Amino acid sequence: MKKLLFSAASLVLMLVAVFIFSPSVKANILPPVDEEGIPPVVTITSPVEGAVVTRRSVVTIEATATDDEGVTQVYYKVNGDTLCTGDASLTSCDWEVPSKRGTYDIVVGAYDASSNLTLDLITVTVK
């Protein structure tokens, strides 16, 4: 097996090049910030990171989303598939767990009034 070695300086230059020449990468890594510099805060409260859930069950995903200027939209996704969307009052979403065993990524995202987006992500295991 070959190993690639990079100096810290060359790694920094590569990262700078990615940010300069690839706006989509930059947009996905760095969320925009509202005028006050305070993006929304999103926390998945249930299930917890690393939880084991049962196949063919219904799991209620719970989250909180807050922002200094107000949360305008919240969404819940599992492995990229949108389960629920709504306004700030949407604090939970039911997920019908599939029969397929494996790991699943749960993402909850929230937008504020300035269209800033913040995400929280956990991974659960289906057994």
pLDDT tens-digit map of 74-90: 999 999 999 999 999 99
Q: Which residue segment(s) compose the domain that 40 sits in?
A: 32-126
In a domain, 16, yes or no: no
CATH number of the domain where residue 68 is located = 2.60.40.10
Check: pTM over 0.85? Answer yes or no.
no
In a domain, 118, yes or no: yes
Q: Residue 123 above 90 pLDDT? A: yes
Other CB atoms within a 10 A radius of the CB of residue 41 amount to: 15
Q: How confident is the model at residue 103 (pLDDT cuts 50, 70, 90)?
A: very high
In a domain, 64, yes or no: yes
Give the contacts of 72 (CB within 8 A, at least 6 positions apart): 87, 88, 111, 112, 113
Q: What is the pLDDT of residue 38?
A: 80
Q: What is the pLDDT of residue 50?
A: 98
Q: Residue 24 above 60 pLDDT? A: no
Number of domains in the chain: 1
